[in-house]
Amino acid sequence: MTTRRRFRLGFTLVELLTVIAIIAILAAIIFPVFSVVRKNVHKAQCTSNLHSIAQAIKMYKDDYRLYPEALYGYGFASGGGRTFLFPQCIKDKSGFHCPINSERIDSTRLPVPGVNPIDGQPMAQCGANGQVRYPKAQCEGAIPLTYFAWDSYDGSVVPPNSTSSQYVVHYLKKFTPGAASAGDEARQLLYRTPPDNTVVTWCTYHRDWSNGQPQTGSMDLVLYLDGRVKSVPVAQTADEFRAHTVTPGS
């Protein structure tokens, strides 16, 4: 008497559905984890960039006895003997770029109209077309002052990675208007020896946005003059012109 062995080819429907269900469950668990890991990697790279800027700005101060007008530099009007952190103190352009910022390396934006980012005074209206130009005392032959939007630390497009024309400056030597006076906030880079808890700049590219507004609970990375980088609630940096004073320094 011979015994026949029957071999099964393939899987049953129940087995296939079970495998598919397991894969779906694993994907639902793993994908959010990958997203968090990616955000943490971007945040770590941005924090490293900010630490490098803190070291570079100290080197710049030692060499020139003052702080730079801008970190990476202006898109235009960068001549006239101006010097910035690049390339004197930081050689690699990527050191000024948050990995979340999707702007092209050659893209430029005008700052908030009418504000001189160096002394807080209104910028001049020069030329027949009435363009905002800089500096105020050199209207003749001046070209519009713009920033590289690819640079994440001199300022940012609001909201980031959008088609908005508004570019807000974050790095300012002096953010209170008018000439320096005894009543000014001491935490400003215009002074020769500002305190260590002076805010240098911050990165807005780690915010979560909804309908063009930063979501409650979002955090910005804030760089202080002593090299510390802290995550600060967006409510403290939302008003870019007051963020230097309202952002805690401790």
- H/E segment holding residue 230: strand 229-233
Give the C-alpha separation, 250 to 237, whole Å: 15
Q: Is the pLDDT of residue 113 over 70?
A: no
pLDDT for res 130: 46
99 exposure class (CB count in 10 Å sphere: 0-12, 13-18, 19+): middle
Name the residue with higher pLDDT: 115 or 246. Answer: 246
**Contact status, residue 90 vs residue 160, Cβ threshold 8 Å:** no
Q: Is the pLDDT of residue 56 over 90?
A: yes
Give the C-alpha separation, 194 to 95, whole Å: 24
- H/E segment holding residue 210: strand 209-210
Tell me which residue of 217, 197, 199, 198 sits closest to 207, measured CA to CA: 217
Q: Is the pLDDT of residue 165 over 80?
A: no
Exposure string over 197-223, b if 16+ CB within 10 A, otherwise e:
ebbbbbbbbbbebeeeebeeebbbbbb
Please, what is the Cα angle at 73 between 177 and 59, to 5 degrees?
A: 90
3-state secondary structure of 53: helix
3-state secondary structure of 10: coil
Interval 18-28: pLDDT, tens:
888 888 787 77
pLDDT for res 240: 66
